[in-house]
Structures are given as structure tokens and as C-alpha cells.
Chains A and B, each alone.
Chain A
Amino acid sequence: MEDARQRVVSPRGGSLLGPEEAARLIRTGEWLAIGADEAVMKRLPEGNWIGGTIPYFMGQDGGETSREKVHVTPLPSLGRGKPWIKRYTVNDLNRICADGPDHGYTLLILPAMTEVHEYYARNAPEFEDMFLKPVLGWVAGIHLDDMGHASPAAVDGSRGEFCHDQAVALHVPLPEDQVAEIGIVNIFEQDDGDVIRFPKASFKVGGCTVNGQPDNFAEYLKRRNVDQRLPLVADYCGSMINVSVKAVDDASRSVELYAPVFPDVEYQLARPVKDYVHAFEQALPNEGRDAACSFNCVLNFLYSELEGRRTSGFNGPMTFGEVAYQLLNQTMVYMSVRSM
């Protein structure tokens, strides 16, 4: 990314496949990350893989909703030790970075709308060794038509077990001369508008300050007639981090969010984006193009109507949340592995 001597060693990325083809890949023994609807994923053989339920994809032919296809990403490995799978609950999720290899990366899959999902969203920045070792991943989801009668699952492929209340992580050692680099592509920028702050870390907010004056966020959105598809955006030393709006409840004067806001962070609403595909392709850096592993947010898929459209350079599941160290929203996350 930064040095001419550093070259990409794993530029493969993933593919959207039929279940038979996915099963053949699993039987090769290669380490894989898999996304698919639960029913088709249950037909896959046990092996060296972890996965998450999701029926939305950006495949080689464009954006696609499928309950039949399987997205498979071969993972860079070949380190000194073998990769290993570990499942986490809220009792030990704070050790995920400490458990990771000294040199390598960790791929994490969290089932959406669960305790582990919420725990990670709120607390990940405080975990031991967070930011010192690469952690990326995504939040498993379900088809939106299944809301209320299905639940997302993270999958331990080595045992064929579907975890509806646990996170599944794959810790992958890399050779000493290779490094995993995680990046994000966020097409949203802060608009030149009001500065909004919240009093505590929360997925549900009411009271806030706007330019230092007490206000209510639900009323603020209504008063300003804000397009709720636009996220709140915070500037983390130059990286734009989104928090997306899930729903506004007029009765309780509160707003539900897809990720928590944090106190001491200044947020601004995002500047509207006219054409997602164009903006995305402009924003995608060379190192993110055809990365070893990538995933994008289902909100980008839905709000930007990506079904049937291609985002050149990205191929992966469209997820209910993304992890690049901490939980993100409406963001593409990618990982490249480079030689040093």
C-alpha cells in the first residue's frame, strides 16, 4: 500500500457459486469464508471454513439476492501455524484480539441482533490488543422477508454448527514476511452542517446537543426533513465512520441506530450522494480493488439499488454490519495481504 517493495500476494477475492461447486472447494481443504442463506448453507460439507447467513451479494455478474447461491472467499493463510476457529460469547469476546496470532489476522462473524453483536459494537474499541492486530469481519443477517421468523447465524464450518447467539472467529497466522492490511471505502462525507453529540454510548438515542445546544435527535431529523438513508458521520483522524439510522419513533421521541453512537465523538449528517456506483468506483483505492477479502453493507445494496448493477472491483456478501476493528455501517471493508 505504501511502499513499492510491498506487493500484493493474495489478490484473489471471492466468487458467487452454486452449492455443488462450493462443496467441491470445501473438500480441497483450503480455508474459506462463506456467505449464504441458511438453508443452502446447511447442505455444505464440514471443513475448513467459517460463514454467516446472508442472501445478498455482489457477485461477478453484479448485485444479486439469492437463496440458492453461495459466496466463497479463499482466505490467505500458509503461516507458521494452522488457522484455528474459536467461538465467542459475551463472556470472552473481549479476548478476541488477545487470542489472535502474533502475526496474521482474525476474521470475525457476528450474528445480527444478538447480545454478542451489541456487545462487540459497544465495547470492541476497549478490547485488549484492539488495533494492534488486524481484525475484520461482518454481521450475518437474513432475507428481509424473513424478519420475525428467522434469525441470523454465524457458522463454524469445521463442525457444521450454526451459532445463533455466538460469534465465530477464524484466527489466521501469516508468514513473517507478509502483512494483512485492512481498509475501508466509505462514500459518505460529513456535510458542512450541524455538529451533533450524544451523552452516552447507545443504539437508541433521544437527547443530544446540536452545535452545543440541547435538542432531541428524533425531532431534529423531523424538523430538518432529513433523508434517513443518510448516516451520521464521525471523523476518526481522517477516516469517516458512519452510524446509520434504523427507525425513528415519534411516540417516544427516540431514534434507533444500526450501531452505537459514542460520547465525546462529534457527528455530522452525511452529504447526499447522487450515484452510489459512480461514487464508489471513484472512492475505491487501488489496494481495495479485488482485495483478498471484502464485504459491503446491505444498506448500500438497498438504498443505492445495486441489484443487477456491478461495482467494479468489489465482490462479496452484502452484510448487516461490517467489522474493521470496530463495528461499522454503510461501509465496504477489505483486506489485502502484502509481502514486506
Chain B
Amino acid sequence: MNNMDLCQQLLAIPGPWRVQRFEVNARERRLDVWVGQDSPSAGKLLRKMLGKQEAAPGMERVWRHLNAGNYRTFVHSAEAPSHSEPFLGTDEVPFTNAMAERISGLLSEGTSYRTICTVMDVEFKDVWQLKATRHRGRESVAAVNRARAEAEVATAGELSEITPIPDASDPVWEKIVAGERNEQIKVLSLRLLLSRIQMQLRNVDDPDMRQKKIQDLRRYFVNNARALRAELKRIFGESGSPDVAELHSDRG
């Protein structure tokens, strides 16, 4: 195995992608890797067939990737940005998709910026840029999902039959994440999601973190509203009272 193959294997880059060259700077603990397709013409042809945008010729992008041991790793590529390849990134954030996922995971766990910057050896401004981009993306996805779910319900003429989902500021959500409505919940996915959230919030007082988890939970209900008719009635039923809701439940 030559050095190029070793580098490719260490960074888990699958074919037809290839490490074209790399540079190691021991003093700065920095590894720079240039990545491209095996056959540029085949890659271009595939992109053309799929109707994907071509990267401008020679327009090289660079993303910060997961560390290789003690070395900060940077991936360079003149290929088009990617939302799916872990070792590439997009124009919106300075990290590869794999690095962005790792940092997002830490952020969602409530890890502080300072800790993330220290542990991952990254710049505060870059983490902030990632968080802002993800937040915008989530908000728009959530808005689209909400609009779609509500439109579907309205189209089916069923709006009056589905218990409305309270706004994220409604106090009922605090009761749910505190475990006060656990007995009303029968659906497996909701039980697992709620358990997770309750564990994550058990010793957390940060209001931003609590609000984020409540929004995640609300998104679950909005996305699944039609399938969760009985669940919604039990949990948010008339007056939000579980006792009243239970009377309307068709299962025990």
C-alpha cells in the first residue's frame, strides 16, 4: 500500500474518489489532502446526466475535516460541493459534512462552544457559522413540514377531527418533558423520543436547551399529526386535561 492509498483509507474515502496528493506540515500539525474523481470525464458526464451544476473549472474549495490523529485535516477539492459525501462539504459552512455532523451532535448535546473549540481544535467563528446555517435550515424545513402537514389535513377535510397541537410556548410541553403525560403515550417512537429528551433534560436548566428539545418534540407531532389522531387526543385533548382526554381514548 502506498502513502496515497493509506491516506485514502485513513480518511475513509471510497472509490471512485481518489486522494490526488497530500501535504503534511508537522510544525503546524496540519494535513492537507486534495481529493478528486478517478475519471474526471466520467464524473462530469454523470453530473451532466443528473443535471447537476458543474463547479467552475479550477475553483478549489477547502473544508476542515475530522482530525487525523493529532493533525488538523483539510480537504481540498475542485469537484462540486456535496451535501452527502462525508469528506466533502458545501458552500455554506467551512466544515466537511462529517465534521459538521460531529460538531452539530455536540451542540445538540448542550456541549459549550468553548469545549467544542478546545476538543475539536476549531475556531469559534466557524462553529457559530455552522450553528447559524443549521438553525436557518431547520427552521425552513420545519416550516415546510408544518405547512405540508397542515395543508394535507385541510385538504382531507379532517382538520376539525384532529386535536390541535399547542404552540411551543404552551406550558403543556413542560409537563410532557417532565414526564407528567407518560401514561397517555402508547406509540413506540414517541415513547423512545420522549425518554431520550427527558434523560437529556434531567439535569439541564438552560432555557435555550429546553426550548430546543420542546421544538424537536413539537416537530414530531406536526410531522405525524394524521397518524397520531388518538395520541393527540389523549395528550392534548379537551382542555389539555389527560383525564378528559382519556375518556375519548379508544384504547387503554
Contacts and interface: CB of A to CB of B under 8 A. Distances in A.
Interface of A: 2-4, 89, 91-92, 94-95, 125-126, 128, 130-132, 134, 176, 179, 181-184, 236-239, 262, 264-265, 324-326, 340
A68 B194 CA distance: 43
Contacts, number: 83
B230 A236 contact: no
Interface string B185-214: 111111111111011001000000000000
B98 interface: yes
A2 B84 CA distance: 37
A264 B199 CA distance: 6
Given A237-B182, A326-B192, A91 B12 contact: yes
Residue with the greatest number of chain B CB neighbours at <10 A, chosen from A126, A128, A176, A237? A237
B192 A2 contact: no
B118 to A, nearest CB: 21
Contact of A89 (B12, B192, B198, B202): B12
Interface of B: 12, 84, 86, 98, 101, 104-105, 108-109, 152, 179, 182-183, 185-196, 198-199, 202, 219-220, 223-224, 226-227, 229-231, 250-251
A28 B192 CA distance: 37
Contacts of A325: 188-189, 192
B226 A340 contact: yes
A3 B186 CA distance: 13
A239 B183 CA distance: 11
Contacts of A237: 179, 182, 185, 190-192, 194-195, 198
A260 B230 CA distance: 33
B101 A131 contact: no
A186 B220 CA distance: 25
B229 A3 contact: yes
Contacts of A183: 188
A265 B198 CA distance: 10
B194 A2 contact: no
A265 B199 contact: yes
B192 A236 contact: yes
Contact of B101 (A94, A236, A326): A94
